[in-house]
Structures are given as C-alpha cells and as structure tokens.
Amino acid sequence: MRRYASHYLIHPSLGMLKQQIVEVEQGVAVCHYPLTEELENVEWVPGVITLEPDGQGRLCPVWMYPYDFTNQRTVAETQRRRLP
C-alpha cells in the first residue's frame, strides 16, 4: 500500500477536502483521511488528487499539477498522472 498527501483531494461525492492522505492499493483508493500530523511512508504531492470512478465502482487517484486553487480548476499547463 502507498500513501499520498496533497493540498486538496477532490472526492466525487464529498467535494474538495483540504490536506488529505489517500491510501492506494494497485491503483485504487482504499481510504482517505485528514493529514493532521507527519506520518511515515507518506509521499507529498503538490496540487490536487482527484478520485475518479473507473466504471467498476472503484475510485482511482489522479494527481493534477499545477492547479488553480483560487478558481478551483485546471490550467493550460496542468498535467494529470494516475497514481500507482
């Protein structure tokens, strides 16, 4: 299992959540929770992690950077990368 932390997490049903950790197994998000303290084995990624449905009822984490936090949208330079 891998853990990623980001400034914001966009969840399809919960909206935008600030400073979250996402636990990922085989490319699928298994849980998320607030980043309240420094934890071991957490990779910090700047920008936003969005959880996107994969068509099989699972949520897959996608990292987007850079991201316009003020207007809550991507910009022309935003790159998307699925997190393993």
pLDDT, tens digit, 9 for 90 and up, residues 23-40:
999 999 999 999 999 889
Question: Across all residues in the chain, what is the average pLDDT?
Answer: 95
What is the Cα–Cα distance from 70 to 82, expressed in whole angstroms? 23
CATH superfamily for domain 2-82: Urease, subunit C, domain 1 (2.30.40.10)
What is the Cα–Cα distance from 9 to 31, expressed in whole angstroms? 12
| Domain boundary assignment for the chain | 2-82
Provide the pLDDT for residue 72. 85
Query: Please, which pLDDT band fits residue 5 given cuts at 50, 70 and 90?
Result: very high
Share of the chain above pLDDT 70, in %: 100
Query: What phi, psi does 38 have (nearest 5°)?
Result: -75, 125
